[in-house]
Amino acid sequence: MIFRNSTNSIFRSKGKTALFTLVIFALTLALSLAVSVWASVAQFLDDCDEYYTTIGLVEYMGTNYPDDDIYDPAMASSLESFDASILTGEDTLINWESPARTFGYVEGFWRTDTFMPDKMLSVFVVGNVSYSEENQLYSAIVFKTLYSSTIEDNKYVYIEEDFGDFEQGHYYLVFGEVYHGYSPILHLRKTSFDNAIVTKNDIEIPNLVDITSDITEGTAYNIPENSILSQVAETLAITNNSVLVSSTDNLMALLPFHQEELFFIEGRSFTEEEYTSGSPVAVISEIMADRLEVSIGDTIKLSTAVSDLPGVYNSYWADDGFSYQNNFTVVGITNTVMDKSWYVYIPRATGIPASNFPIGYTVGHAVVKNDRAAEFYGRIESILQDRFQLRIYDQGYSSVAIPYQTILRTAQIVTFVCGLVELAVVILFAFLFVYRQHETSRTMMMLGAGKPRIFAYFIIGAGFIASIATSAGAAAGYWLHDKIIAFVARTAESFTLIDSRYSNGNLTISRTLEFAPNLNWQFFISIGITVFTLT
């Protein structure tokens, strides 16, 4: 009886019933779409925050910039007054890391790149020396090569006239620079051995040593034990085939990895446990792995040397040897980039001593909160002095996020307005369907209907209208959601901007994250139930 009377009452007021059904439907639909856009965009921005990493790279603009393994005295002097606390005290900062680089050597690895420090320097034994008046050159045969990246045993070599005095029938241990002359035969000229350890210890490096043996010794020549040129040859064999060891607490925040210049073709980066415990693990290049004939899980023997003299290649002298040696397990292999093919990356916590002097022009890098990169840049760039410069690399975060942040604020405003209008409609709905019928409720009370039945009378009518309107609104919202999201994506794309400081395509990669929110039908049902309950 109560149900029939209640439903009859709403059908007797068809116009009012239809109007409120339509209004509640429209508001439920608008609220569903506004909240869904809010939730979708907020979810996307959270995904962006995880997908993108923003770094602030502080560099010194030296005269040889961007040489990555040079020592610049001017930079070293400026670093004495550089205060890293201006960065570490920033609340926009996640972490700051200064470079920790070391001269190293991996047993079995050899280099052929153009960045070898002394590629053409050679030490070898020559004999059968003769002088050509026509060419004003000595010609000789290479009997034994102690070190050379270009010349081999039993080859002819031309030696410049001013190299020294040669006698026929004698054998010489020579040190010099090999170069290509006017003929296919290589030439040798005098040069000096540029090594700060040698200079500091006043070690004299000759270009020519007569090592001819007495005929009674049974050999044509004899290389003296502990020959200084033998030590030069051993030193060149290490320095020319050296590696640059880079210790880090966040491999993927280093610029080559962050900008995807380097990427993994096998294996992985370091785990949190490896970073924390300092596990002896390493990431190397593909060309290094090929030459060492190692793969993921194999070990390499890594040696390092640290000197109290500046310059990465001044860290080693054969007579001093290495300061650290250990076996490292290869966990990652990257693509080969020729100017980084000899880099070895390890966790900082391994404790390998780093060079006491800066190597390259990188002062350090900061991992910055994505949405506060502009704030970080504005504060830090203005207080950096001398030749220090800050560059922001955000992988395209700002160009993607800024339009969606604007859309998010708009969706929040629309949701708030829809909520207020919904509340106003509910109050009006209550006034017209309940308060205006207080005489009816009084009559029912006098007839002995009781409060529960009176409550049921009103709630059934209001609930019938609300259930139809909110269900239809939620269903329509679910059906239209994908179309609205596609429209939002097109709108965001059309408003994409490129700031020359952030996401500059000439300086940084731009990663792409698809806006594809995943809101299920339960989300829209919950909105419908909320509006229904309120109504």
Q: Among residues 284, 120, 278, which one has the least CA distance to residue 193? A: 120
pLDDT at 481: 73
Residues 517 and 377 occupy one common structural domain: no
Report the pLDDT value the prediction gives residue 499, as an integer from 0 to 100. 53
The Cα 241–Cα 247 span in angstroms is 19
**Pick from 212, 239, 266: which residue ends a domain?**
239
Of 239, 268, 284, which residue is a domain's last?
A: 239
- The pLDDT score that the predictor gives to residue 8 is 45
* Residues 157, 410: Cα–Cα separation, whole Å: 78
* Predicted pLDDT of residue 225: 84
Residue-level pLDDT at 508: 63
Residue-level pLDDT at 54: 94
- Same domain (yes/no): 475, 411: yes
Q: What separation in angstroms does the CA of 377 have from each of 87, 142, 382, 391?
A: 11, 60, 8, 8
Looking at the fold, whether 125 and 187 belong to one and the same domain comes out as yes
Q: Which neighbouring-strand residues pair with 324?
A: 304
Pick the closest to residue 508 from 393, 368, 397 (CA basis): 393
pLDDT the model gives residue 458? 54
Q: Note down the domain range covering 282.
A: 102-116+241-356
Six token digits for residue 198: 């040698």
* Assigned token pair, 220: 């044509």
Count other C-beta atoms under 10 Å from residue 441's C-beta: 17
Both 245 and 232 in a single domain?
no
**CA-wise closest residue to 62 among 358, 355, 501:** 358
* CA-based nearest residue to 177, from 137, 128, 236: 236
**Type of residue found at 384:** L
H/E stretch holding 386: none
How confident is the model at residue 464, as a pLDDT? Answer: 60
Taking CA atoms, 416 is separated from 44, 407, 411, 420, 429, in Å, by 20, 14, 8, 6, 20
- Answer yes or no: do 259 and 269 share one domain: yes
Q: What is the pLDDT of residue 94?
A: 92
DSSP state for residue 221 in the 8-state scheme: B
Q: If phi over 0 gives left and psi between -120 and 50 gives alpha, with beta otherwise, what is residue 77?
A: alpha
Please name the amino acid found at residue 124.
F
Residue 198's CATH number: 2.40.50
Q: Among 347, 372, 393, where does a domain finish?
A: 393
| Cα separation, 177 vs 117, whole angstroms | 12
**How many Cβ atoms from other residues are within 10 Å of residue 270's Cβ?**
24
pTM > 0.85: yes or no = no
Residues 173, 234 within the same domain: yes
369 and 409 share one domain: no
Please indicate, yes or no, whether residues 111 and 94 belong to a single structural domain of this protein: no
CATH no. for residue 62?
Answer: 3.30.70
The domain tally of the chain equals 4
Q: Are residues 206 and 261 in the same domain?
A: no
- Across 381-430, the runs of DSSP E, i.e. the strands, are 388-393
Integer Cα distance of 259 and 511 in angstroms: 9
Do residue 106 and residue 254 come from a single domain? yes
Classify residue 227 by burial, with Cβ atoms within 10 Å: 0-12, 13-18, 19+. Answer: middle
> In whole angstroms, how far apart are CA 493 and each of 37, 145, 257, 370, 393?
16, 64, 27, 19, 21
Peptide bond into 224 cis (omega under 30): no
For the record, the structure tokens of 185 come out as 């035969």
Q: Are residues 167 and 221 both part of a single domain?
A: yes
Question: What stretches in the chain show pLDDT beneath 70?
Answer: 1-21, 23, 26, 215-218, 422, 425-474, 476-477, 494-510, 512-516, 518-535
pLDDT 10s digits, 187-203: 999 999 999 999 999 99
The DSSP letter of residue 137 is E
Instruction: Check whether residue 275 and residue 321 sit in a common domain.
Output: yes
